[in-house]
Amino acid sequence: MATPKMTTKDGFEFQLGTNHLGHFLFTNLLLPALTEPKKPVRIINVASAAHMMGSVDFNDLMREKTYSAWEAYGQSKLANIMFTYELAKRLSYQPNVTVNCLHPGVVRTELGRYMVKDSVFMPFAVALASVFFKTPAQGAETSIYLASSPEAQNVSSKYYTDCRPVSSSQASYDAGAAKKLFDVSAELTKATWTP
């Protein structure tokens, strides 16, 4: 989260490559197996409320011109949500498949290691995290809910936090941008099967 500027082995901006393109490709590789059986299938993407500070910049998707760690993170999490909505639309002919995403909350993990590394604020951040952040088990609750709850069985194309659907950012509902992102992601990852 909010990493210094770096790239993946494939040359993608690190956060977009890790948080979106990797998940996009993995999901696409699994789709033929997931859509074959008529058993219920739930595809769940872990996004973040940080998507609200993101925008997908198709002119500089890899953030080569200007780089802000938080803008890149926000873009990657917005991409998670747009991918969720577009995939749900493309799989709408499969009534047994649902696609949802979630914000797990602010969780005490190593995810924020780049934010306070070698900082004079580190002791304060650790104290704050121990009091106000969710435990990893609490952070997993919405993922578990979406994977197993009968209430979420037939719900698709939603963004959840604390086990309930909420609105995501206005940008996340841009259907044209979501379709374009899906197509660009398929081209970048060389995904061979797309619904």
- Mark whether 93 is an active-site residue: no
**Which of 67, 73, 85, 160 is the catalytic position?**
73
Going from the C-alpha of 154 to that of each of 44, 48, 81, the distances in angstroms are 13, 23, 18
First-to-final CA distance of the chain: 30
Going from the C-alpha of 37 to that of each of 10, 29, 40, 84, 94, the distances in angstroms are 33, 15, 8, 21, 10
Query: Is the distance from CB of 25 to CB of 84 less than 8 angstroms?
Result: no
Q: H or E element: which one contains 78?
A: helix 69-90
Active site residues: 73
